[in-house]
Structure 1
Amino acid sequence: MSSVLEKSLAIIELLVDHPTGLPVSAIASATDQPVSGVHRTLQELGRLGYVRQVQAQGDYALTIKLPAMGLGFLGRAGITDVAQPVLDALATRSGELIRLSVIDGDRLIWVAVAQGATRGLRYDPGQEQGVVVHLASSSGGKAWLSTMSDDEALSRVAAQGLLRQAEGTGPNAPRSLTLLLEQLAEARARGYATAVDSYIAGMAAMAVPVRYHANGPVLGCLSIAGPAVRMTAERMAELAPALQAAAAELGEAAAGSQYFQAIVKAVEPAPATDRKTA
């Protein structure tokens, strides 16, 4: 890392995964920075209100300022207002966990969730909002990849990595590009992507892309996830129409979101009158 900003963001991103805080030495080791430099950065972040020291001479943790900014952004961008009613209704219909991911540049990020399982065995990660979706192992990632050509899909997977660098990756995560391409072809033919014991062992999920006005640019992906013992292939087939209908509803409602409108403008070609002529 070279810039002060890059070093500061590395510390913030690390602390996101450790809400109870970390000692300076652990932060320095994890971010490959000198202890003295980390201490100075933490002091400055503390002055600005982004971190706090849990107790005198104790660990450093994020304050609520950064999460509050993120929630404020989602609200002002119109994402939660547009999406949450649709997610809640699908959660009630399916009795499983519903997640919405949206495109952010060249990444797919989970931004909204609704839990439909009220009792018994359920999948409830609780910490994935704001997390970048791993494309090759998740149903949402494969749903997005399935909207691309094979070459573009492989390019995105190569940039992120075929295997997820984290504990808990499922045993069925595709470990070859050939297998991944086969799964993408199946998703296109079936109308939805699946991931069983892939992203996390014991969890199964299905997902579809969310397109602006049905046939427009892809805005994100909508998924249903639950325990693999309950989310069988037959159950997924039963839920597919409801999932696809909810994605279509989100695509129609996207006109009310400034964020989704920005995505559409970024990917749609400019009108002929706006293009430069030779």
Structure 2
Amino acid sequence: MAGGLLRRALDLVELLAGHARGLPLQTIADMLGIPKSGAHRLLAELVSYAYVTQDAETGRYLLTTRFATLGLKHLANSGVVDVSQSVLNRLADRSGELVRLAVVDYPRLVWVAKAQGARSGLRYDADMGTEATLSTTSTGIVWLASLSDEEALHLVLRQGLRPPGTAGPNAPRSIPAVLDLIQAARARGYAWVHETNAVGMAAMAANIVHPGSGRAIGNVSIAGPSARLTEACRDALAPDLLEAAATLSAVGPLSDYLAALSGGRTPDPARLA
């Protein structure tokens, strides 16, 4: 009972996290598949601890900043951002584009830090704390390339392919197309995508590897407008990208923390089905 209640509360938090402007009580109940009375009890409990608030004018329920504060405090105490920021800044300066750090929080891949290298003109930016789409981002593809085909496809199917119109024109529409991107990343040593995740955008990413296990525990990426981040630019930046990933891999405290976050080993896909 207690476990089921906790699961519903966490589902509620994740639901509200995806709706910054909040949701009405009935909509929350419908989306969670629980009675309206049950949803109201969960919300009232979260409101009492100031994790959720209700808009006095619209009646919508939304998350307060308390969860965000906890997440930022955790990252600050872990040292992840402090250790990696100088490496991200250096790569951003060299590339002139957005550089991001993603960590494996199995079975998710989450962006947690960034550095912006573009000083003027078109700048690409993205919100931190969001889960990367595995089949369309260089971040996702390079992580999948570190796994077996079986596990990589399991994770892609778990998340789902992007529907037409929600990604870039080159987004993979089939499993064989995803495998092509994965195999190309393995052969190259880093991932490269061109207008797969968004129109007019390109990106490249390399894995951060735990020095002991050899497992990918995160990655570093460069993303920018495809008009600037061309194939020639990609080839010129590849050594800098790989150097940044190798530097972060060699930082013991960072590698150990990310390894613990990813669960210490890759879970069996059958356990996640």
Q: Identify whether the pair has TM-score above 0.5, normalized to the shorter chain.
A: yes
Match of 1:275 in 2: none
2:132, 2:194 → 1: CA distance?
16
For the structure 1 residues 267 and 41, does the alpha-carbon distance in structure 2 shift closer, same or farther, using more than 3 Å as the test?
closer
For the structure 1 residues 206 and 108, does the alpha-carbon distance in structure 2 shift closer, same or farther, using more than 3 Å as the test?
same
2:191, 2:96 → 1: CA distance?
19
Contact 2:202–2:225 under 8 Å retained in 1: yes
1:166, 1:254 → 2: CA distance?
42
For the structure 1 residues 124 and 116, does the alpha-carbon distance in structure 2 shift closer, same or farther, using more than 3 Å as the test?
same
Contact 1:82–1:254 under 8 Å retained in 2: no
Match of 2:270 in 1: none
Match of 1:14 in 2: 15
Shift of 1:224: 0.7
* Paired amino acid for 1:218: A
Match of 1:159 in 2: 158
* Paired amino acid for 1:75: A
1:159, 1:187 → 2: CA distance?
21
Match of 1:148 in 2: 147
Match of 1:81 in 2: 82
Unaligned runs of 5+ in 2: 267-273
SS at match of 1:219: strand
181, 202, 205: which is aligned to 1:183? 181
Deviations 1:39-61 (A, max 9, x none): 22211100011011232663222
Deviations 1:153-212 (A, max 9, x none): 223323332x13697322211122222222222112222111211122222111111113
Match of 1:61 in 2: 62
Shift of 1:10: 2.2
2:17, 2:163 → 1: CA distance?
17
Deviations 1:55-101 (A, max 9, x none): 26632221111111111111222211211221122112211111111
TM-score normalised per structure 1: 0.85
1:249 aligns with 2:247: yes
1:256, 1:102 → 2: CA distance?
11
For the structure 1 residues 251 and 149, does the alpha-carbon distance in structure 2 shift closer, same or farther, using more than 3 Å as the test?
same
For the structure 1 residues 54 and 82, does the alpha-carbon distance in structure 2 shift closer, same or farther, using more than 3 Å as the test?
same
Shift of 1:144: 0.9
Unaligned runs of 5+ in 1: 269-278
SS at match of 1:3: helix
Contact 1:168–1:201 under 8 Å retained in 2: no
* Paired amino acid for 1:133: A
Number of matched residues? 264
* Paired amino acid for 1:211: V
Contact 1:214–1:251 under 8 Å retained in 2: no
For the structure 1 residues 164 and 262, does the alpha-carbon distance in structure 2 shift closer, same or farther, using more than 3 Å as the test?
same
Shift of 1:30: 3.2
Match of 1:223 in 2: 221
SS at match of 2:251: helix
1:210, 1:256 → 2: CA distance?
10
In the TM superposition, structure 1's runs of 4+ consecutive aligned residues that sit over 4 Å from their partners are none
Shift of 1:143: 0.5
Match of 1:132 in 2: 131
Match of 1:267 in 2: 265
2:242, 2:82 → 1: CA distance?
20
Identical-residue share of aligned pairs (%): 44
SS at match of 2:125: coil
* Paired amino acid for 1:61: L
For the structure 1 residues 169 and 265, does the alpha-carbon distance in structure 2 shift closer, same or farther, using more than 3 Å as the test?
closer
Deviations 1:123-159 (A, max 9, x none): 112x2x2222221111111101112232332233233
Contact 1:78–1:258 under 8 Å retained in 2: no
SS at match of 1:173: coil
Which residues of 2 match residues 47-126 of structure 1 at below 5 A? 47-55=48-56, 58-125=59-126
SS at match of 2:101: strand
2:79, 2:236 → 1: CA distance?
31
Shift of 1:265: 8.2
